[in-house]
Structure 1
Amino acid sequence: MATLYALLGLLFAAFAIFAVIDRSNRKRFGNAAFWSLMALSLLGGSHIGDLANGLIVLGLAGLAGFGALGRGTPPTTSDAEREGFSARLGNRVFLPALVIPVTALIGTVVWNYTPLGQSGLIEAKRETYVFLCLGAILAVLVIWAWLRPPAAAPLQEGSRLIEAIGWAAVLPQMLAALGAVFASVGVGAIVGETARAAIPDGSIFLTVLVFALGMALFTMIMGNAFAAFPVMAAGIGVPLLIRDYGGDPAVIGAIGMLAGFCGTLMTPMAANFNLVPAALLELRDRNAVVKAQVATALPLLGVNILLIYFLAYR
């Protein structure tokens, strides 16, 4: 995993360099500082200590909160060139993207079901991440071999995309860490005590209902189901649904996350999913994506509640 973190750190360092040289962006130094802090965290986070990492997080929040990030027009392919690629290649232009999931799937299966997995080259339970990154590298090589773009094109396009997304690109990691903080300070225990006081003893369905609704609501507040899960699992999922009522942990965990993702569909806090697309598509209503998804999210949440109840307690 250290190699993957280093690879991502170098990528963010490249984004910082591209930001500095992009004179079309009035806030280029703010962008460069933001991506440099991300690079520092990924390259040296395990070596610089908790205090330094905390200061990096405060620095990222400060740069984003005070509007230090902007968007320029870095040198990259023109609209006419992109339209030309689209007209010439059609849907085949998406083929390199398929290299990523195919590599991750095949690599993970081969690693887990052949003697190759006993080599110890990859940290246990981290093989999917490794093959996902390998798939991204292979996809870039396929593009180079097929379309023959300039050598710096992948980094230029990556820089253009990351600046279009901005600070929201790191929001999932931040919010997932926030969930771990909430769990460590006992928020889950408070939720559990409240649930025990409000739900009649032995009412499995009401407990499932509170768990699933809590997953959705906490996700809407924190913007990420991974941040909500430690709180709801510690407060209701593990002590009540699994230990007290004997529910299937796999069903409760997996479908509980899906219930949380229903909350993701309904909140602007999930900025990378709901606000970024609206910005990239230049929609007049920044919440248009959220509004369009509510009609899907609510029935799906209801289905997930029923699935947990009927599958976890067969």
Structure 2
Amino acid sequence: MTISVEAVYAFMGIIGLLCSIYTFFDKSNSRRITSGLFYFIYALTLLFGKVIPPFYIGLMVIVMVLIVACGGLRKGRFREESTEAREERRQRLGSWLFLPALLIPVLTVVGSKLLANIKIGRLPLFDPANPTLVALGAACVIALIAALALTRDTPRTSIKECRRLLESIGWAVVLPQLLATLGTIFTKAGVGTVVTQITTKFIPEHSLFWAVLIYCVGMAVFTMIMGNAFAAFPVMTAGIAIPLLIQQFGADANQLAAIAMFAGYCGTLMTPMAANFNIVPAALLDLKDKNHVIRVQFPTALITLAVNVALMYFLIK
């Protein structure tokens, strides 16, 4: 039996569905109906995204946007343990608290590298379309079981904590899917061609430095707009890297792509659109300034971007 990518999404959808039910019945939340509807629709897209026609998925997304735009998404109240109880648990569990979190990256690497090619009969164990994502999903399930065994809590507690996390993130939970789609739309719409036309007017002819500078800075800026370097990469590469750096200057495509992605990651550190990296940590730590993570990372991002420009300029010559 093959563990498919759809199974991972279905698992996420089931958790989202259970979280939405808790939100619907949270009487402390003045917007519990609209908030629950937001997470319910999101769960449906995860559970049935492969079978629901794209048109109806689009309508569901529009409803989610309207809920957020009209102020219908609110965070509920959660019963938390006292500081003394949490401290007692921390002392009792000690360093074992880190085990579930460490299991996820370790098992993901092991699964994607060692189990990706294993077959049971004629069927592969992991979906060949994306074995890394399947390994990540399996690692999360194992980590969840380990956490329940370690803390001796019930699955109901894990769902409640998932709901608390989900509502802390809020509307930003849908950003990864939306931004990945945005990159595809931009590429299909020919934005890369427009970028080429604009940049060729301003870049001095036969100037490798300016081509490299605009490409790296463009990767960072587009990543800040889209929130995802993977979404920015096809647009900027089609617009600048291929016609100028590769075809005109003969740059090595492999080196170019690797450094360009690092330049894009610099933009990730400087934008609230990169919710997983910047908004989620602020929400988890209950920071008063939701942009605090970005402010701390900004100087490092600029220095790293400058280093990437220098690396690309000297390595692809």
Residue from 232, 239, 242 that aligns with 1:238: 242
Distance 1:272 1:119, change over 3 A: closer
Gaps of 5+ in 2: none
Which residue is 1:301 aligned to?
305
Which residue is 1:150 aligned to?
154
Deviates more, 1:158-167 or 1:289-298: 289-298
Distance 1:282 1:107, change over 3 A: closer
Distance 1:24 1:97, change over 3 A: same
Which residue is 2:10 aligned to?
6
Which residue is 1:38 aligned to?
42
Show the 5 A alignment for 1:210-289: 210-289=214-293
Residue from 285, 296, 300 that aligns with 1:292: 296
Which residue is 1:24 aligned to?
28
Which residue is 1:124 aligned to?
128
Separation in 1, partners of 2:147, 2:132: 22
Residue from 194, 197, 222 that aligns with 2:198: 194
Question: How large is the RMSD of aligned CA atoms in angstroms?
Answer: 2.3
Which residue is 2:187 aligned to?
183
Show the 5 A alignment for 1:61-210: 61-75=65-79, 77-112=81-116, 119-210=123-214
Name the aligned partner's letter for residue 194 of structure 2: I
Separation in 2, partners of 1:116, 1:306: 49
The answer to whether the 8 A contact 1:30-1:69 is kept is yes
Name the aligned partner's letter for residue 23 of structure 2: A
Distance 1:277 1:102, change over 3 A: closer
SS across alignment from 2:126:
coil
The answer to whether the 8 A contact 1:187-1:231 is kept is yes
Separation in 2, partners of 1:10, 1:279: 23
Deviation at 1:98, TM superposition (A): 1.0
1:146-178 alpha-carbon deviations (Å, 9 max, x no partner): 221123121111111111111112212212211
**Number of residues of Structure 1 aligned to a counterpart in Structure 2:** 313
Separation in 2, partners of 1:125, 1:202: 41
Higher helix share: 1
Residue from 59, 63, 67 that aligns with 2:63: 59
Distance 1:301 1:18, change over 3 A: same
Deviates more, 1:49-58 or 1:250-259: 250-259
1:238-295 alpha-carbon deviations (Å, 9 max, x no partner): 3332344332333222321221121122223334433444444444444332222211
Distance 1:30 1:300, change over 3 A: same
Separation in 2, partners of 1:245, 1:120: 43
Name the aligned partner's letter for residue 131 of structure 1: A
Separation in 1, partners of 2:21, 2:77: 15
TM-score by length of 1: 0.90
